[in-house]
Structure formats: C-alpha cells, structure tokens
C-alpha cells in the first residue's frame, strides 16, 4: 500500500529530505503508489501519512508555520512526524533559555539550541543507535541537544554532550541531518513506524 510523505517546505533542507524519502521508499519496495511532496500550505498537510520537518533556522520555520496557519494542522496531524535539527526544536515541549520561542510540544523533550556552538563548530560523528549493529554517520550543523525526556520518549542515541535521537509513538526526532548522509536507515525506520 502506498504512503504519502509531506516535507514542510518553508526553509531548510527540503530537497534533500524529498530525495532521501524517495530513496528510502524504493529501498523498502514501497515506492509504487507512494509519493513524497513538498508542503507549502496548511491544506496540503491533510492526506499525508507522514510529515518531515527539516533542519534550517528554527525561529524562521516557527514564524512561517504561524504565518501560514500551519500550527493547528500540525498539532492535529494524526500521522508520524520526522523532525531533524531545527525541526526537533520546533517539535519540542520546551526550549532552554528562550521564552520568545513557542515550540509545538509534540515531543515530550526539552532542547538546548546551538548546543555545540555556531556554524564553524559543526562536526560529523559516528553514532551508536539502539537496535542497530552498524554506527550511523551523523552530520551536526548548529545542532541542538536534548537535555530532558518524558516518560513516553525512547532514547535512541546519545553522545557525551547529551541525547541526540529520540522516538515517541510514531514520531522521530534527531539533532543532526540524516538527509545529508547516504545512509537511509533513519528514513526507513520512520516509514516502518507509520504502520500504513
């Protein structure tokens, strides 16, 4: 059965996520009858089975979500949401030391923005993921870190600075950019969790 994956197209790594999901669907043998589409308006969210909120600049993405009337449709979205980097900040329940930013509260986590420093402190690191034998090569760019998780949140990966990947029900949140890797395991993991 085909699935429809929407990638929030407001700012950030949109084309990279579109490609990554198309490749993941092909690897899973689920590309026939499936689609991966950019989402530019609130009405386009309806009919999607999964939604990706890509990395970019979290304040800009949050402002665009509100300007385009997407906050309520995202909060009411019945499918799974895959949030990466800035998307993780947007989906968090709280953001440390930033009262001006109003996250969506979909993931029961607290995050710290730019936890590793600015753009020049970006780095790459192999991560050990729960349930995976092979490490995942992760790209961190002005990345957040998760400092608190709620009872319903499963921790999937951490580094000495903190938690960098979590799952909650059908939602997946990571502090890095899996779409910049050739490794499609996280996109595949998200698709498996949709149960469509």
Residue 85: active-site member? yes
Beta bridge partners, 49, equal none
Is residue 48 annotated as a catalytic residue, yes or no? no
As given in the structure block, the two tokens for residue 155 are 């921790």
Q: Check 17, 171, 177, 187 and give the catalytic one.
A: 177
Instruction: Choose, from 85, 169, 171, 187, the residue flagged as catalytic.
Output: 85
Q: Are 84 and 178 in contact (CB under 8 A)?
A: yes
User: In whole angstroms, what is the distance from residue 143 CA to residue 139 CA?
Assistant: 9
Closest CA to 106 of 86, 65, 85, 76: 76
Residues 6+ away with beta carbon under 8 Å from 145: 111, 112, 115, 116, 161, 162, 163, 164, 175
Could you tell me if 183 and 129 are in contact, meaning their C-beta atoms sit under 8 angstroms apart? Answer: no
Q: Which residue has the tokens 């890095």?
A: 176
* Angstrom distance (rounded) from CA 76 to CA 120: 37
187 catalytic per annotation: no
CB 30 within 8 A of CB 60: no
Instruction: Give the residue numbers marked as catalytic.
Output: 85, 177, 179
């Amino acid at each position: 059965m085909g699935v429809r994956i929407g990638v929030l197209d407001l700012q950030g790594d949109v084309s990279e996520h579109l490609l990554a999901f198309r490749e993941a669907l092909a690897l899973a043998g689920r590309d026939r009858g499936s689609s991966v589409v950019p989402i530019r308006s609130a009405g386009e969210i309806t009919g999607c089975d999964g939604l990706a909120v890509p990395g970019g600049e979290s304040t800009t993405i949050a402002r665009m979500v509100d300007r385009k009337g997407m906050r309520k449709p995202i909060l009411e979205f019945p499918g799974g949401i895959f949030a990466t980097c800035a998307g993780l900040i947007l989906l968090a329940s709280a953001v440390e030391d930033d009262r001006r930013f109003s996250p969506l509260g979909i993931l029961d986590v607290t995050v710290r923005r730019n936890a590793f420093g600015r753009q020049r402190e970006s780095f790459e690191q192999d991560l050990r993921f729960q349930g995976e034998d092979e490490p995942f090569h992760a790209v961190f760019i002005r990345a957040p870190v998760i400092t608190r998780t709620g009872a319903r949140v499963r921790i999937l990966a951490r580094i000495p600075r903190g938690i960098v990947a979590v799952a909650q029900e059908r939602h997946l949140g990571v502090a890095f950019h899996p779409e910049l890797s050739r490794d499609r395991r996280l996109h595949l993991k998200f698709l498996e969790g949709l149960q469509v």
